[in-house]
Amino acid sequence: MSRRWLVAVSVSAHVCILAGFFVSGVWRLERLDPGKRRFTMDVPLQPPPAPSGGKVPDAPVITAKTRPIDHGRHQPVIKPEITKPTEPETGGGDVVGPGNGPGGPDAVGTCTENCGEGPPVAPPAPVCGNGVVEAGEQCDDGNASAGCTSTCRIIVKPTLVAPATLQALRISGETQVHPSAVTQNQVMRDGKHRIEGTVNLCVGTSGSVTSTTLRSTTSYPDYDQSLLAAVRDWRYRPYTVNGTPVPVCSVVKFIYTIN
């Protein structure tokens, strides 16, 4: 065997021995420090949304088992344990209530007490003549007609105005009222050439004539009725006091002459 071959074998043996000592030293260092461990933190999941009308179920809990990490071969595998959430309560059961309804899940019952407010009740309509002033009434004297009309309106006493004032408010109506031919012949047979008659009239707030009466007669009933009928058809502008229409009364004098 040559010298070079012996040198190569000796060097290789020493290298193997040194490598063995190095690996043994590293393994002993790992054995001296076994307390180093790695842990993971549990993170709870968000609870599922609550079902309508039921109890919110408990959130599932995930727990992780930890163990020392083996540096020598592989990382540990964490297996989570999931607990099944409880079912929400539906309110069912065999408890019998105090009511007398059909008891089915889809049955529609009828409330008999503590049912809350019902629909608004309309107030009763006012009654004119019961002696009580109600909504929409100006007065109510129990149909005594002492200052209150049959429709529960206040009777306003008309204002007396001069004939010329009322005449200025007249807007329509026939003023030339002639007696009939029979009445004219009777007047001539009586030897009269002039007859006069006076009519009392009242005008309401709308301008229409509300009443007519004879103040002085013409002595001819047929002609008196003709005058009253003509005056009832007259129309006036409302007479106002401080801008408010008020009823008024006055007189109208008729004079008829025969030439």
Per-residue pLDDT tens for 200-245?
Answer: 999 999 999 999 999 999 999 999 999 999 999 999 999 999 999 9
Residues present in the chain in total: 259
196: closest CA among 134, 106, 124, 258? Answer: 258
Taking the domain 161-257, which CATH number applies?
3.30.2420.10
Instruction: Determine the Cα–Cα distance for residues 151 and 206; give it in Å rounded to an integer.
Output: 17
pLDDT, mean of residues 126-155: 84
What is the residue type of 13? A
pLDDT of residue 143: 79
Q: Give this prediction's pTM.
A: 0.46
Domain with CATH 3.30.2420.10 in the chain: 161-257
pLDDT band per the 50, 70, 90 thresholds, residue 11: confident
Q: How far apart are the first and last CA of the chain?
A: 192
**Residue 88 and residue 51 in contact, taking contact as beta carbons nearer than 8 Å:** yes
